[in-house]
Amino acid sequence: MKEQLSNILREAQQIYFQIKNLEELENFRIKFLGRNGLLAQISDSFRNLSLEERKEIGKYFNFVKEEINKLYLEKKEILTSPQKIIFDLSHPGIRKDRGIKHILTQEIEEIKKIFFTLGFNIEEGREIVTEEENFDSLNIPPNHPSRDLWDTFWLNKKNYLLRTHTSAHQVEFLRKYGVPIKFTIIGKVYRHEATDQRHEMQFHQIEGVSVGEKSNLVELKSIFKIFFEKYFNKKIDIFFRTSYFPFTEPSLEVDINCFLCQSKGCQLCKKSGYLEVAGAGMIHPFVLRQASINSEKYFGYAFGLGLERLIMLKYDIPDVRLFHSTDLRFINQF
Ligand code: PHE
């Protein structure tokens, strides 16, 4: 009898899913719960059982009846209140706040990828370097006035400082790899400067170095063209202006055409039509010799890009200090 009851329950559960309207529901009710329904029929035969058996089966009978009744009521509720949405797909879940990569991290990853595809090794270097690395090896002897180009944070330990530029690693990696070689150094640099909209005490540089028998400024220009067109996703023209760095000869300032106004003159380019984006030049033979490279046979170019400046141009960010602020309104935009 127990088996009979559980078969009835299973059948009811199966039919439950097929009921599509009130008429079918009524048939369901009559079939299982009606006065001559399956349950009623079974309860008639209880009479033949002993008191003990009746007690046990009765319990199970009540359970089955209740379950079927629940199914009936549940379906009734669904069918009689069609407005009620059982699964509301538009109902938002519980939102979990997820962190995102900081814009600086995102852009560094992107820039690394571009230079990697252009055949450059990717390096980082240390932020604490020696005076020799940051200055002497780059043809900037002690007490030379050109040291004033880099406002330096000196550390208490003699000869040590926070690198003022990623050029501090040029000789280190040239020594490490030998020639020919192409590598970039991407990382944070420090300058003892007053901060304002365009200056920060810490910022990032992307250093590029290429040394080989045929490295030249035409190649540098092509590398820049590919890099900037990929990075800004626009057609870009590259312009060289002469400049001065002790470790390059000739030295250049690199400009690109202002992509915001097509060089007509706007706020971004300060009406000049050009945007200054990098310092560069042919590596001074002095620097090559520091790395024990034959400067008669090998030539190289080097460049230094300011990461924050590039990002500010790309996304029209007005103030460099925003990068190190904890203002989530800024950070979460990217
Ligand atoms: N290191 C220079 C600076 O910080 C930039 C630079 C790099 C210039 C490489 C020439 C070659 O100003």
- Would you tell me how many other CB atoms lie within 10 Å of the CB of residue 241? 11
Bridge partners (DSSP) listed for residue 274: 257
Is 125 touching ligand 1 by the criterion CB < 6 Å? Answer: no
CB 190 within 8 A of CB 162: yes
DSSP 199-225: B-SEEEEEEEEEEESS--HHHHHHHHH
* pLDDT per residue as tens digits for the range 247-277: 999 999 999 998 888 878 888 788 888 989 9
User: DSSP label at 147?
Assistant: G
* pLDDT per residue as tens digits for the range 269-308: 888 889 899 999 999 999 999 999 999 999 999 999 999 9
Q: At what angle do helices 51-80 and 22-33 cross, to 10 degrees?
A: 170
Please count the CA atoms within 13 angstroms of the CA of 143 that sit on its side-chain side: 0
Least confident stretch, 69-83, 133-147, 305-319? 69-83
* pLDDT per residue as tens digits for the range 194-224: 999 889 999 999 999 999 999 999 999 999 9
Grade residue 85 by pLDDT with cuts at 50, 70 and 90. low
Q: What topology is assigned to 103-331 in CATH?
A: BirA Bifunctional Protein; domain 2 (3.30.930)
Residue ID of nearest Cα to ligand 1 atom 2? 304
Is 245 touching ligand 1 by the criterion CB < 6 Å? Answer: yes
Q: At what angle do helices 307-315 and 217-232 cross, to 10 degrees?
A: 40
Bridge partners (DSSP) listed for residue 241: 253
Q: How far is the CA of 159 from the centre of ligand 1 (A)?
A: 21
The full set of domain ranges for the chain reads 2-80, 103-331
pTM over 0.85: no
Is 182 touching ligand 1 by the criterion CB < 6 Å? Answer: no
Share of the chain above pLDDT 90, in %: 72
Question: pLDDT value at position 37?
Answer: 92
CB 279 within 8 A of CB 286: no
Query: Which atom of ligand 1 lies at the shortest distance from residue 280's CA?
Result: 10
